[in-house]
Structure 1
Amino acid sequence: MPLTVGDKAPDFDLPGDGGGRIASADLAGKAYVLYFYPKDDTSGCTKEAQSFSCLAAEFEKIGVPVVGVSPDSPKSHDKFRAKYDLAVRLASDEDHGMLEAYGVWAEKSMYGRKYIGVERTTMLVGKDGRIARIWPKVKVEGHAEEVLAAAKGL
């Protein structure tokens, strides 16, 4: 069942880029952004990561960490961050547990072919650990700016 605004954000503890871990427990008590994307180093995902990276200092100023989550490996994330000098953390969910808990591991269709993958989605989690805002089926253009404006409003 998909998450809705007001739901408690599911807990997670995932391997992150650079060998660390990214866990909901470490983010408790602060608002944060989770953006779910299909694959490292593809055009839309790269644009989205670069957009959030360009605004990383703005998110930092308001104390709202941004974490990108995909099923790619930590090694893939390290290469992706280095190649594009990304300023956001990337978490790896290779077994799809978190992606499923957040309702973003879904059936998709491309060129008439159905497959299971990540539905590009962003969620803003409030300081209370509840989902404050959801952007389903994200269109990358202008998205990071819209998320920043919403985060400033918390």
Structure 2
Amino acid sequence: MVSSLVMAIYHQAVQAASVPQPPLASECKNAVASIMRHTMLSKDEVASIMKHTMLSKDEVRLIHQSSNGAGNFAAHMTQRLLPELFTDSNIHQHYNYHGIGRDKKQPLNPRLKSALWTYVICHFLSMADDGNWQQQGIPKINEMLRLRARMPAAMEPSSEALENV
């Protein structure tokens, strides 16, 4: 009886710890200050970026909940902030975060990169560190830009339907 009670309390504590908590308003303000420090943008420019790329809290929360980590969240936010790149024509394959590489890809817009970084830092404070951003965020964004757009499995025609044609 006691062991089952202890196990129930343990599982409840594990579940509570694994649910990501929304960031505090002060943490997002710290993220804006961090962006200003790293990108040399003024407070007005950062506010302008956030105004033009404003997403609803519910939308950002859904993206955050469907992401498996900070890098994955950054990649999904890239897809949401730059929908014009992720069309059937696969324009995103001509872009890279920094715009470097043997294929001479185009760099992403610096203002949108700042907005992306702001959203990521607001939800994953560990990404404010340049090392973490370089190792986790940028590679996931570049991977998202490199891969071909896939049709959701529910939308793909089944092999049986193709045989009947």
Where relative contact order (Cα < 8 A, 6+ residues apart) is larger, the structure is: 1
More strand by share: 1
More helix by share: 2
Q: TM-score range by the shorter chain?
A: under 0.3
TM-score, normalised to structure 2's length? 0.27
TM-score, normalised to structure 1's length? 0.28
